[in-house]
Amino acid sequence: MRECTVAKNKKNCGCSYMACGNRGICCECLQSHLKKGQLPGCCFPPDVEKTYDRSIETFVKTFQEKGPWW
């Protein structure tokens, strides 16, 4: 069984909400956002991520405006 890489994930996390208990636990992070029709903060460019609008609608709108940014 693979070990969780939570410490490494935290270092690479693109989310600016530092108080979140899911930080670095990407499987929990993804599930919590998908349940709300959202995507994790790391799916957005920094200027959009910092608005904390994680909606899939905003992801699509951002992609249409910026094209791939990653």
29, with CB counted inside 10 A (0-12, 13-18, 19+), is buried
Please give the structure tokens belonging to residue 35: 């349940």
Q: In this complex, which beta carbon is closest to ligand SF4, that of residue 6 or of residue 20?
A: 20
- Chain-centroid distance of CA 63 in Å reads 15
| Residue 17 in contact with ligand SF4, rule: CB under 6 A | yes
Which part of the chain contacts ligand SF4 (CB under 6 A), choosing from 2-10, 25-33, 62-70? 25-33
User: In the complex, which residues of this chain contact ligand SF4 (CB under 6 A)?
Assistant: 15, 17, 20, 22-23, 29, 32-33, 40-41
